A = this chain, B = another copy of it.
Amino acid sequence: MSQSANYVLPPLGLNPSTTAAGTTPGSFARKPTIAPGPEGRYTFASPDTPGMPEPSMKTAWDFLPDGWATFVDAADQATCVSRDPESGLRPYSFKQSDGSTRHVTLDKRWKGFQPVTQLEYARLGIITGPMKRVAEREPHLTPAQVRDEVAAGRMIIPANINHLKYQLDPMAIGRASKTKINANMGASPVSSSTDEEVDKLKWAEKWGADTVMDLSTGGNLDECRAAIIRNSTVPIGTVPIYSMIIGRKLYDLDAETILATLKHQAQQGVDYFTIHAGVLREHLQFVKKRLIGIVSRGGSLLAKWMIDHDAENPMYTLWDDICDVMRGYDVSFSIGDGLRPGGLADATDRAQLAELCTLGELTERAWRKGVQVMIEGPGHVPFDQIEYNMKLQRTLCHGAPFYVLGPLVTDIFPGYDHITSCIGATSAGFHGASMLCYVTPKEHLGLPKKDDVKQGCIAYKIAAHAADVALGIPGSRDRDDELTKARAALNWEKHFELSFDPDTARAYHDEDLDVDTDFCAMCGHDWCSVRISKEIVEFASGKEDGYQWKKAKVTAALTPEQQQILASRGNLSPEEIHKLASKTKKAVGAKEGEKASCHSDYVDDDSAKRLQERSLPLVELNTTN
């Protein structure tokens, strides 16, 4: 017998698995829990490595407008009315999703107040249509929980009241909801038409973008933005400074232009604005010794403006006015990080952190104005510093959703920065980021083409999904488990259906073996561990009802999309691909105009094995006794 049979595994003192996400019986896994305390019961959080900044004890409830007051009554609401007899206004009292009762009073100045933003509705206890829709789309949350997260400032629903009139399908960004991804568009040549931009939008939506930023600096910006808003089901963000300085000298940028541009885009229906108000004159001294200065376009333009004018950042000095404009249409803030690092060497430096302090201040001020806020985060951060960055933001910005670009965890792989950055994005999502801005393979090298957009989206869906699974957000691992069961049953059809990109999975598989065999295409029949596991009668693997199937099956003909995937790989000749695309009709003699009959026909095991021997002639192995 093994000497180690009686070894007792080291205990895990922390966080016994209490999340709803499935943990396998007998698992010793540590699971992050829904953290108690100031971050609230619905915030999925990773455990803290020692030395991380403590979470802020404050939320958006601590930054109400002047004349608003609130208190929470854990027991009942009897004491409410008598608490503020002088206001003359009825207090709003409502049961929060944790069972406590929240009371909110507004003084005389607020008589006749009508809420506009989701934050304002939430503060009054009102569950809006968008909140209900968010809870529908994320069934692990109730509408009341969504409202409470929005009220606390830990979640935003970027939904311009004018965009809601079109096709916007409301979604939420925040630590209690699933991790989201953003795709950037625009920066397009003048030759790019509005139709092309709408195509790009639809392409990004197809590959899972939860929001899209229109960063156009060319073409008919205004018409294009309007078309994108009309056609998008996802929230649209912009960086309005780009429009402010086209056709104008940067030096001439003034308050009037800034506010007029913001008002115009708000009226158009933009859901969130990136505004680089956190980069202050006093921060520029910290940039001087950086290896790569300022890499944010907005940040660099505003730095130049400040130096030229010897004046403070106008976005900062105009902050309260900007808030008023945005509040009127419920445009959310994405407060830009103009001093984000542009290389590992500049990460987590004084410039970046000084700006982050200002972002905290701006968050508090925006909340006082009733505006929803998220915070943008750094783009190049060594892997070990990511948790610190996320948790420092949680501290300084009181849990406002964090929206990060990547971050890239190494600088030396241009051409592969969708990969270098989705590594950082996974860690960022796990340690607290709520939305991940994609990076494409063309980053640092040129404008992304259509396939780059797809590659960027997929890398970021991987990051977001991996973070959600790791955080134990209920239900997030279900599809992985379904796919694992299909894999165990060697049910290729189901395997591909459950894949995020079924065409690619199918095409790669058929490159070697165009039949749904009872073995894994990597190892071949005789060496297939999964097939052997299935044969071991004691094991449950691959035997579950609905996953199990009887016989090998000829796969469907390759679609044009799948042919294209194989063509660009260059391993098969055009003739071979053509054969895979047309085989069923020719091979089986399907009648003209009819679906080839073998599409769903089973072939017997011997035929499957012959097919294997033809296309993948491995040495045979006798595993039977």
Q: Which of A385, A445, A542, A571 counts the most chain B CB atoms within 10 A?
A: A445
Bound-state Cα–Cα, A466 to B538, Å: 42
**Cβ-closest chain B residue relative to A450:** B571
Bound-state Cα–Cα, A189 to B526, Å: 13
B419 touches A499 (CB 8 A): no
B384 touches A470 (CB 8 A): yes
A411 touches B32 (CB 8 A): no
Say if the beta carbon of A18 comes within 8 Å of chain B: no
Contacts of A301 in B (CB 8 A): 529, 532, 623
Contacts of A621 in B (CB 8 A): 217, 245-246, 250
B357 touches A51 (CB 8 A): no
- Interface size bracket, A side: 35 or more
**A536: which of B292, B303, B484 is its contact (CB, 8 Å)?**
B303
A353 touches B619 (CB 8 A): no
**Cβ-closest chain B residue relative to A387:** B30
Q: Which of A48, A412, A487 counts the most chain B CB atoms within 10 A?
A: A412
B49 touches A288 (CB 8 A): no
Contacts of A78 in B (CB 8 A): none
**A413: which of B3, B48, B190, B501 is its contact (CB, 8 Å)?**
B501
A469 touches B409 (CB 8 A): yes
A4 touches B480 (CB 8 A): no
**A483: which of B412, B467, B500, B539 is its contact (CB, 8 Å)?**
B412
Contacts of A540 in B (CB 8 A): 288-291, 293
**A480: which of B29, B304, B395, B410 is its contact (CB, 8 Å)?**
B410
A 426-450 binary contact with B (CB < 8 Å = 1; else 0): 1100100000000001111111010
B477 touches A345 (CB 8 A): yes
**Cβ-closest chain B residue relative to A533:** B293
Number of copies: 2
Bound-state Cα–Cα, A522 to B297, Å: 11
Q: List residues 464-514 of chain A with CB under 8 A from any CB of chain B.
A: 465-467, 469-472, 477, 479-481, 483-485, 487-488, 495-496, 498-501, 504-505, 508-509, 511-513
**A388: which of B30, B242, B249, B624 is its contact (CB, 8 Å)?**
B30
Say if the beta carbon of A85 comes within 8 Å of chain B: no
B316 touches A2 (CB 8 A): yes
Bound-state Cα–Cα, A13 to B187, Å: 43
A 1-12 binary contact with B (CB < 8 Å = 1; else 0): 111110101101
Q: Can you list the 9 inter-chain pairs with the closest CB atoms, starting with the nearest? A: A14-B51, A293-B533, A343-B484, A293-B541, A251-B625, A446-B512, A10-B53, A383-B470, A415-B504
Say if the beta carbon of A81 comes within 8 Å of chain B: no
Contacts of A512 in B (CB 8 A): 445-447
A 268-310 binary contact with B (CB < 8 Å = 1; else 0): 0000000000001010101111111111110111011001100
**A412: which of B13, B426, B459, B499 is its contact (CB, 8 Å)?**
B499
Can you spell out 25 A-B residue pairs with CB atoms less than 8 angstroms apart? A2-B316, A7-B360, A13-B50, A25-B289, A27-B348, A46-B384, A49-B49, A189-B616, A217-B621, A291-B481, A294-B539, A296-B529, A304-B623, A342-B488, A344-B477, A346-B484, A383-B466, A419-B422, A419-B459, A423-B423, A427-B427, A445-B509, A446-B513, A446-B522, A451-B570
Contacts of A260 in B (CB 8 A): none
New A-B pairs, 20, CB < 8 Å, besides A24-B347, A416-B459, A419-B458: A1-B282, A3-B361, A10-B395, A13-B51, A28-B349, A28-B350, A187-B523, A246-B619, A248-B622, A250-B623, A287-B539, A292-B484, A293-B529, A300-B529, A342-B530, A343-B488, A383-B430, A411-B484, A415-B505, A423-B463
Contacts of A459 in B (CB 8 A): 416, 419
B533 touches A300 (CB 8 A): yes
A 401-424 binary contact with B (CB < 8 Å = 1; else 0): 000000001111111100110110
Say if the beta carbon of A534 comes within 8 Å of chain B: yes
Say if the beta carbon of A617 comes within 8 Å of chain B: yes
Say if the beta carbon of A588 comes within 8 Å of chain B: no
B487 touches A444 (CB 8 A): yes
A374 to chain B, nearest CB (A): 18
Bound-state Cα–Cα, A512 to B9, Å: 57
Asked whether A416 and B462 contact (CB < 8 A) given A541-B290, A625-B249, the answer is yes
Asked whether A9 and B523 contact (CB < 8 A) given A422-B419, A617-B191, the answer is no
B358 touches A625 (CB 8 A): no
B511 touches A446 (CB 8 A): yes
Asked whether A307 and B538 contact (CB < 8 A) given A384-B30, A469-B344, the answer is yes
Say if the beta carbon of A520 comes within 8 Å of chain B: yes
Q: Which of A1, A25, A31, A621 counts the most chain B CB atoms within 10 A?
A: A621
**A343: which of B422, B487, B521 is its contact (CB, 8 Å)?**
B487
Q: List residues 166-200 of chain A with CB under 8 A from any CB of chain B.
A: 187, 189-191
A48 touches B49 (CB 8 A): yes
Say if the beta carbon of A54 comes within 8 Å of chain B: yes
Contacts of A523 in B (CB 8 A): 187, 217, 297
B539 touches A469 (CB 8 A): no
Q: List residues 517-576 of chain A with CB under 8 A from any CB of chain B.
A: 520-524, 527, 529-530, 532-536, 538-542, 568-571
Say if the beta carbon of A57 comes within 8 Å of chain B: no
Asked whether A26 and B349 contact (CB < 8 A) given A413-B462, A541-B293, the answer is yes
Contacts of A31 in B (CB 8 A): 384
Asked whether A411 and B483 contact (CB < 8 A) given A190-B618, A522-B447, the answer is yes
